[in-house]
Amino acid sequence: MSERTAYRVCPLCEAGCGLEIAVSENGVEKIRGNRQHPMSKGFCCPKGIALKQLHEDPDRLRPPMIRENGQFRAASWDEALSLVERKLADIRQTHGNDAVAVYLGNPNTHTMAGGLFIRPLIKALRTKNFYTASTVDQMPKMAACGLLYGSPMRIPIPDIDHTDLFVVFGANPFVSNGSLMTAPDMPGRIRALQERGGKMIVIDPLRTRTAQAADRHLFIRPGTDVYMLLAMVNRLFAEGLVNTGHLETFIDDVQALRETVAPFTPEAAARMCGIEADAIVQLTREIAAAKKCAVYGRMGTSTVRYGTVSSWLVEVINILTGNLDRQGGTGFCRPAHVPDGSIPKGYSVGRWRSRVSQAAEVSGELPVAVLSEEMETPGKGQIRALLTVAGNPVLAIPESDRLDAALAGLDFMISVDYYINETTRQADVILPPASILCHGHYDFFFHALAVRNFACYSPPVFEKGADEKDKWEIMANLALIAAGKGSDASPERLEEKMLDDLAAGVIKAMGGEEKSGVKKEMLIAPLSGNKGPERLLDFLLRIGPYGDGFGMKPDGINFKTLTKNPHGIDFGPLKPMIKHALANPDGKIHLFPEDMTPDLEELRQAIEGTGGEPGRYLLIGRRHLRTNNSWMHNIEALSANNPCTLLMHPDDAGRLELENGDSAQITSDVATIAAPVEITDAIMPGVVSLPHGWGHDKDGIQLSVAGKNSGVNTNRLTPAVTERIAGTAVLNGIPVTVASAAE
Ligand SMILES: Nc1nc2c(c(=O)[nH]1)N[C@H]1C(S)=C(S)[C@@H](COP(=O)(O)OP(=O)(O)OC[C@H]3O[C@@H](n4cnc5c(=O)[nH]c(N)nc54)[C@H](O)[C@@H]3O)O[C@H]1N2
Ligand SMILES: Nc1nc2c(c(=O)[nH]1)N[C@H]1C(S)=C(S)[C@@H](COP(=O)(O)OP(=O)(O)OC[C@H]3O[C@@H](n4cnc5c(=O)[nH]c(N)nc54)[C@H](O)[C@@H]3O)O[C@H]1N2
Ligand code: SF4
Ligand SMILES: [Mo]
């Protein structure tokens, strides 16, 4: 093979940077940012460059693994899949469909397989025990947007490229590279904002890299943003600053909202948040005065006690100031693969409940915080088997020790994963996909969450080996097994069925075969790309908003157009589209959903108090640039300089007589762990911070690099407490005591 350059979008985080990969006969020579990629323009981070090491990692599994007598051995795909088929059938027959649970981890959102094949898999399994990492993440924002706009897919994105004022609650995009806001090169974009005279204001208990670059940073006591946001809405009404402009005809319930927020004064918020009342008032006035402003909240306003209410209030401020759906405010995406009008209309939570503690369903799933109890508690519907796909819940979700023990008690566990890690070490079968560079890539999720309308397809950099499987093939195999079609059914059977269903839908929308004269074959025959996700993508692109409509719009795009544009196609900035975006059946914004009321009542009763608990610290998380949740610590180039330390303010450390590097004992309501202290005035007094994704010290894992610098698992400390509406785990603001471990 001669030297060549491959263009590939990085699938590791939501930024989706374009990469330029120099390939020789020896494999990957070098990776760097692709300057021709219109979104990232050459920007990339150390993780993208480390795709080479990920591809080459000797610990990455190649053949499937079967565990026997506590030992893993390599197996053929036939053997592994027929074992899965046999065991799943047994368990479902004896204990019912709900006895099989599924947990989907974050990387599913970064694969074509995840974008297309999750739905058929879950449908075929017919289990109500469906869990994902969303309920330790963004579910509150999805629920808030679902209730406001009618669909959890309608999440407004801050238009940071055109805004004058960017207000950030609880996000660190300089390090996370942005979330629910695909915008590669945040530092560059914020520099551009400041150069055109705009400002960024950050509200965070930690002076993060984002906060350092901000024009103003306000420390806030963890978990109390809800009070500040309520006070801001209170001020908007009280000072006559509400100006909904073009949104006016779309909103209702304004008066009810005004009355509800009346008791939440800046003074009350100040006590709770540790921010002066004047600062809250001033910020509110600045937002109202700005020509274009985008208020944005992320992990720090999601994974907290009042996550959904906080996420809702962020939207409320954008709506009341007329910034929603406005250039330079926040806007909705119109992605190339989502046909206009195809998003289901109407949203509610709690359509069904979990068996043990009656936790409410949210966006079709149950909260991960109840996963352990559903495995532990005997009775009809108890979980006996678990399928994990691209997830590491033993490190990611609350009460890790409990989950770890519950996994050991399962009858059967299947993991689709590259590694034997803290979770998959307990699996009976591990099904590893081919290397990350051997799959085609298209961002089904993040093209719908980007600051510009954009589409890019990356072909595989290398062909997978003959005995390897693509991610979609594994998902399709599992779906076919679950549907009773057998472990030897070809994955293409599912793909063909899905194409058939898509074609049937289009023909139905055209009034039927007879009226339209269109037959299914006429829609399927012209599709290009490999069988599998590419042909499905081609179909969606053709019927999408920029599509060729199967020849009806000759200027439109299809899959071939994307392959001819290896750096992607930019459809321009987000455009106002409120009428089209709203997915409530009545076509309105439901400004004040009644689901908020119980939490607001609880908050009203608490406003006399002060945030925090005397004698206890509030524990928050953090991310480092060279990490990706739990799973990239096995790469030498990334794992150095990644301190898994407990950040603590000098005043607090002094009181406890702790010095830099001393081991501190941290105790929550559910566990005690120890970590070295790192003293810094970047953290608010009374708050401590540990990163998540660490704790690679379990027996039986096969992560030779990560094991050398194992760190501790902060989620051993996390109680299974959830916020009420979206059932999302409270990961930030956990009360803990800290003491010197030497004592
Ligand atoms: N390098 C790197 N990048 C990543 C990841 C990674 O692990 N490493 N993970 C990816 C994933 S899965 C996600 S979801 C995104 C997350 O993306 P972000 O949300 O941007 O990332 P976090 O670092 O979690 O930022 C949350 C911030 O909230 C602050 N915070 C904590 N509690 C509170 C609070 O109560 N109020 C306020 N106002 N702030 C609070 C924290 O100090 C932190 O700075 O990052 C993605 N990108
Ligand atoms: N305390 C605390 N806990 C947190 C957070 C926090 O901020 N604080 N953040 C939460 C958030 S936002 C998230 S998203 C979760 C993440 O939690 P998870 O998604 O459960 O875990 P990850 O660490 O992302 O692990 C991903 C797994 O997928 C595998 N993998 C990677 N790519 C692929 C692929 O393409 N296919 C397959 N089959 N496997 C793949 C990796 O080897 C790894 O085992 O953690 C959550 N937990
Ligand atoms: S910022 Fe995210 S998408 Fe860009 S190179 Fe780094 S990990 Fe990849
Ligand atoms: Mo996440």
Tell me, what CATH number does 26's domain have? 3.30.200.210
Is 732 a member of any domain? Answer: yes
pLDDT at residue 678 greater than cutoff 60: yes
Give the integer Cα–Cα distance in Å for 102 and 504: 29
Percentage of residues in the chain with pLDDT exceeding 90? 96
362 secondary structure, DSSP code: B
Number of other residues whose CB lies within 10 A of the CB of residue 346:
11
Examine the domain organization and report whether 31 and 169 are in the same domain.
no
Number of other residues whose CB lies within 10 A of the CB of residue 206:
25
Give residue 565's pLDDT.
98
Task: Give the CATH number of the domain where residue 275 resides.
Answer: 3.40.228.10
Which of the listed residues 47, 109, 638 should we mutate to test ligand 3's pocket, taking the one with most ligand atoms within 8 A of CB?
Answer: 47
Q: With the C-alpha atoms ordered 654, 658, 659, 660, is the resulting torsion angle positive or negative?
A: negative
Average pLDDT of span 564-570: 98
Q: With the C-alpha atoms ordered 483, 485, 490, 493, is the resulting torsion angle positive or negative?
A: negative
Examine the domain organization and report whether 597 and 678 are in the same domain.
no
Examine the domain organization and report whether 598 and 617 are in the same domain.
no
The β-bridge partners of 386 are: 101, 413
Distance 633 CA to ligand 3 centre (A): 15
Average pLDDT of span 596-606: 96
Give residue 741's pLDDT.
87
Tokens of residue 303, six digits: 């994974």
φ/ψ bin of 275: left (φ > 0), alpha (ψ from -120 to 50), beta (otherwise): beta
Per the listing, tokens 């993060």 go with 208
Give residue 396's pLDDT.
98
Q: How confident is the model at residue 2 (pLDDT cuts 50, 70, 90)?
A: low
Amino acid (1-letter code) at residue 77: W
Distance 298 CA to ligand 1 centre (A): 7
Examine the domain organization and report whether 711 and 667 are in the same domain.
yes
Task: Give the CATH number of the domain where residue 689 resides.
Answer: 2.40.40.20
Residue identifier of the C-alpha nearest atom 36 of ligand 1: 300
pLDDT at residue 593 greater than cutoff 70: yes
pLDDT at residue 164 greater than cutoff 90: yes
pTM, 2 dp: 0.98
φ/ψ bin of 565: left (φ > 0), alpha (ψ from -120 to 50), beta (otherwise): beta
Which of the listed residues 7, 8, 13, 626 should we mutate to test ligand 3's pocket, taking the one with most ligand atoms within 8 A of CB?
Answer: 13
Examine the domain organization and report whether 638 and 730 are in the same domain.
yes
Give the integer Cα–Cα distance in Å for 355 and 373: 9
Q: Indicate whether residue 15 lines ligand 3 (CB < 6 A).
A: yes
Q: How confident is the model at residue 615 (pLDDT cuts 50, 70, 90)?
A: confident
Average pLDDT of span 137-156: 98
DSSP assignment of 314-326 equals HHHHHHHTT-BTS
Element (H, E) at 404: helix 400-408
For residue 626, give the ligand 1 atom closest to its CA. Answer: 1
Amino acid (1-letter code) at residue 458: S
Q: How confident is the model at residue 696 (pLDDT cuts 50, 70, 90)?
A: very high
Examine the domain organization and report whether 592 and 623 are in the same domain.
no
Residues 6+ apart with CB under 8 A from 564: none
Mean pLDDT of the chain: 97
The β-bridge partners of 145 are: none
Q: With the C-alpha atoms ordered 659, 661, 667, 672, is the resulting torsion angle positive or negative?
A: negative
Tokens of residue 458, six digits: 């990356």
Q: Indicate whether residue 441 lines ligand 1 (CB < 6 A).
A: no
Give the integer Cα–Cα distance in Å for 422 and 672: 19
Name the residues around ion ligand 4, CB cutoff 5 A. Answer: 137
Is 514 a member of any domain? Answer: no
Is 381 a member of any domain? Answer: no
132 close to 166: Cβ distance less than 8 angstroms: no
Examine the domain organization and report whether 221 and 286 are in the same domain.
yes
Examine the domain organization and report whether 45 and 182 are in the same domain.
no
Which of the listed residues 110, 166, 204, 225 should we mutate to test ligand 1's pocket, taking the one with most ligand atoms within 8 A of CB?
Answer: 204
Q: Indicate whether residue 31 lines ligand 3 (CB < 6 A).
A: no
Is 309 a member of any domain? Answer: yes
Examine the domain organization and report whether 296 and 165 are in the same domain.
yes
Domain range for 238 is: 139-336+577-602
Is 178 a member of any domain? Answer: yes
Q: Please write the tens of the pLDDT for every residue from 88-101.
A: 999 999 999 999 99
Ligand sitting nearest the alpha carbon of 621: 2
Q: How confident is the model at residue 455 (pLDDT cuts 50, 70, 90)?
A: very high
670 secondary structure, DSSP code: S
Give the integer Cα–Cα distance in Å for 56 and 37: 25
422 close to 701: Cβ distance less than 8 angstroms: yes
pLDDT at residue 1 greater than cutoff 80: no
Examine the domain organization and report whether 597 and 643 are in the same domain.
no
φ, ψ dihedrals at 536, nearest 5°:
-65, -40
φ/ψ bin of 335: left (φ > 0), alpha (ψ from -120 to 50), beta (otherwise): beta
pLDDT at residue 253 greater than cutoff 90: no
Ligand sitting nearest the alpha carbon of 172: 1
Q: Indicate whether residue 299 lines ligand 1 (CB < 6 A).
A: yes
Q: Indicate whether residue 622 lines ligand 1 (CB < 6 A).
A: yes
152 secondary structure, DSSP code: T
Q: How confident is the model at residue 643 (pLDDT cuts 50, 70, 90)?
A: confident
Q: Rg of the chain over CA atoms, in angstroms?
A: 25
Rounded to an integer, what is the distance from CA 161 to the centroid of its chain?
Answer: 22
Is 376 a member of any domain? Answer: no
464 secondary structure, DSSP code: P
Element (H, E) at 734: strand 734-740
Buried b (16+ CB within 10 A) or exposed e, 407-417: beebbbbbbbb
Is 474 a member of any domain? Answer: no
Examine the domain organization and report whether 234 and 327 are in the same domain.
yes
Q: Indicate whether residue 170 lines ligand 1 (CB < 6 A).
A: yes
Give residue 289's pLDDT.
98
Distance 357 CA to ligand 2 centre (A): 25
Tokens of residue 505, six digits: 């839908």
Q: Please write the tens of the pLDDT for every residue from 47-89.
A: 999 999 999 999 999 999 999 999 999 999 999 999 999 999 9
Distance 389 CA to ligand 2 centre (A): 10
Q: Indicate whether residue 223 lines ligand 1 (CB < 6 A).
A: yes
DSSP assignment of 87-139 equals HHHHHHHHH-GGGEEEEE-GGGGGSHHHHHHHHHHHHHHT-S-EEEGGGGTTH
Examine the domain organization and report whether 669 and 594 are in the same domain.
no
For residue 439, give the ligand 2 atom closest to its CA. Answer: 35
* Structural domain total, the chain: 3
Ligand sitting nearest the alpha carbon of 109: 2
